[in-house]
Chain A
Amino acid sequence: MDKTYHTPEEAIADVGDGAVIAIPGFFACGVPRILLRTLIKKGVKGLTLTCGCGPLVGAVEELTQLVKNKQLKKVIDSYGLFRSMSKGLEDPFEQAVRAGEIELEIYPMGTLAEKYRAAGAGIPAFYTPTGVGTVVEKGAVSNMPWNRAATKETRVFDSKKYVLEYALKPDFAFVHAYEGDREGNLRYRRTAKNFNHVMATAARVTIAEVENMVGLGEIAPDCVHTSGIFVTRVVEVPRVSFAITID
């Protein structure tokens, strides 16, 4: 089996207008930057990015460009805004959210992790204690009033209240791995793993950019983090240096 693509352009050729794409990364760490840059060049519009923890805050250069190009319709995340309000007011993404040009829908981070896990595991919804007694229990947390109407179901188990959350299944996941082979087996490096593995399991089509394409069997079988069965395409990309810290 050979899932290798020679260029990122070929690897994302079928990503069209209106696609829902999972973007992993914990702020700056573990973000698929080359695939994002390719998405910028491709110019597709009406995109929904489903994130985990603030790649828009961490990979500012790439994601701000998507905002400036008006390629985004919606972002789902747990941490979409700069911590500092003054920095946020200058941020094109926050400006677009304030103007109602881009929808921002917020979930607790662990709930997002579980929404992807459920999608990958064939589970349509799950009950969680996270968010009970807060706005999260009431309905979607969004800057779009029309998205806030639907209420969430709750249920009591063993005299404790839980809220029902649904699986989140993106059309595509762009993931970033340290090593990959032609069959799509992946290994991540240190804390760059974060949302990459679970998003790879969740999406209909998973496209992996890897810093090192290695021969089959070169990732020791008990060191594979994501099995190739979850990965549709693999493309080798250069290692990109980036600023770690965020404001």
Chain B
Amino acid sequence: MPVKFEGLPREMIAMRAAKELKDGDYVNLGIGIPTLISNWIEGMDIVLQSEIGMLKTGPLASGDGVDQDLVNASCQPVTQIPGTVYFDIVESFAMLRGGRMDAIVLGALQVSEKGDLAGWANPARGLGDVGNIGGSMDLCAGAKRLLITMEHTTREGDPKIVSELTYPATARGVVNMIFTDLAVIEVTPKGLLLKEIYPGVTLEDVQSVTEPKLIIAPDLKEIQL
């Protein structure tokens, strides 16, 4: 049985990843931990894009504020705010595939040493590679910076950071940074650079749940929140 280490909760992974975003950025957040990032960028001059066809997505709606014609790409009711713009799906994907987004943040099933991403088809479902691709491949095709937020291992404790993908790929060589409950890792041409580590675990612990050999940054820090 692989050892499972306790690290940052999901909200804190999102908080750490949010620090990579800066004023003036156009950003698309995927489903799961990435969505939580919106809680940590209040007050910043960041415009969120939702691939359903909306720029400057406002906070989640509730009660009387819910409008069935106003939802985000995860089908959650949202609100419009000053500066909100609606557009159709072709224009939405012109922004995404056309390279207008400064940062895209997605979850992942696996990330490889070379920055390959697998995030759409879970073979456990038994349908092979017939699954929900959604907009994930287009998001990757046009991202200036692709950030991944995820748990470091599967529920069973198996590595999600792997030498070669074993799940169907979303895109190849596209991931720039990986934020997990245990570490912050940069994908570099030389390999995976471990830049920050959760204070409760050792270098050996992180390596033991990471398949490829990690390069340790000379200025390795504790995770900066």
Q: Are A and B associated in one complex?
A: yes
Residues on A facing B (Cβ under 8 Å): 26-30, 52-54, 58, 78-81, 83, 85, 88, 97-98, 104, 106-111, 113-114, 116-117, 128-136, 141-143, 178, 188-198, 225, 241-242, 244-246
Q: Please state if A53 and B134 are interface contacts (CB–CB under 8 Å).
A: yes
- Beyond contacts A26-B53, A26-B73: 17 other A-B pairs, Cβ-Cβ < 8 A, are A26-B75, A53-B89, A78-B134, A79-B133, A85-B125, A98-B127, A110-B137, A111-B138, A114-B90, A128-B97, A141-B130, A190-B67, A193-B86, A194-B89, A195-B88, A242-B68, A246-B75
Q: With A78-B132, A113-B89 as known contacts, state yes or no: A143 contacts B172, CB within 8 Å.
A: no
Q: With A29-B68, A109-B134, A109-B135 as known contacts, state yes or no: A191 contacts B127, CB within 8 Å.
A: no
Specify which of B53, B133, B134, B172 is in contact with A133 (CB 8 Å cutoff): B172
- Inter-chain CA distance A79–B127, complex, in Å, is 14
Q: Give min CB distance, B130 to chain A, whole Å.
A: 5
Query: Which residues of chain B have C-beta atoms less than 8 A from A83's C-beta?
Result: 132
Q: Please state if B130 and A130 are interface contacts (CB–CB under 8 Å).
A: no
Is the CB of B38 closer than 8 A to any CB of chain A?
no
Q: Please state if B75 and A143 are interface contacts (CB–CB under 8 Å).
A: no
Residues on B facing A (Cβ under 8 Å): 50-54, 66-73, 75-77, 80, 86-90, 92-93, 96-97, 116, 122, 124-127, 129-138, 141-142, 168-173
Q: Please state if B87 and A193 are interface contacts (CB–CB under 8 Å).
A: yes
- Inter-chain CA distance A72–B71, complex, in Å, is 28
Q: Please state if A134 and B168 are interface contacts (CB–CB under 8 Å).
A: yes
Decide if the interface of chain B is mainly helix, strand, loop or mixed: loop
Residue of B nearest to A242 (CB): B68
Q: Please state if A79 and B134 are interface contacts (CB–CB under 8 Å).
A: yes
Q: Please state if A135 and B168 are interface contacts (CB–CB under 8 Å).
A: yes
Q: Give min CB distance, B71 to chain A, whole Å.
A: 5
Specify which of B80, B116, B137, B142 is in contact with A190 (CB 8 Å cutoff): B80
Specify which of B70, B93, B124 is in contact with A110 (CB 8 Å cutoff): B93
Q: Give min CB distance, A203 to chain B, whole Å.
A: 15
- Inter-chain CA distance A242–B68, complex, in Å, is 7
A-B contact count (CB 8 A): 165
Query: Which residues of chain B have C-beta atoms less than 8 A from A129's C-beta?
Result: 97, 141-142
- Inter-chain CA distance A98–B168, complex, in Å, is 19
Query: Which residues of chain B have C-beta atoms less than 8 A from A195's C-beta?
Result: 88-89
Q: Give min CB distance, A198 to chain B, whole Å.
A: 5
Q: Please state if B130 and A106 are interface contacts (CB–CB under 8 Å).
A: yes
Residue of B68, B89, B125, B172 with most partner-chain A CB within 10 A: B89
Sort A-B residue pairs by CB-CB distance and give the 7 closest, nearest first: A110-B138, A110-B93, A133-B172, A109-B135, A108-B137, A192-B69, A190-B69
Q: Give min CB distance, A177 to chain B, whole Å.
A: 11
Residue of B nearest to A162 (CB): B141
Query: Which residues of chain B have C-beta atoms less than 8 A from A134's C-beta?
Result: 137, 168-172
Q: Please state if A80 and B132 are interface contacts (CB–CB under 8 Å).
A: yes
Q: Please state if B88 and A196 are interface contacts (CB–CB under 8 Å).
A: yes
Q: Give min CB distance, B171 to chain A, whole Å.
A: 6
Q: Please state if A136 and B75 are interface contacts (CB–CB under 8 Å).
A: no
Q: With A135-B168, A194-B52 as known contacts, state yes or no: A28 contacts B68, CB within 8 Å.
A: yes
Query: Which residues of chain A have C-beta atoms less than 8 A from B52's C-beta?
Result: 26, 29, 53, 191, 194
Q: Please state if A85 and B124 are interface contacts (CB–CB under 8 Å).
A: yes
- Inter-chain CA distance A244–B66, complex, in Å, is 9
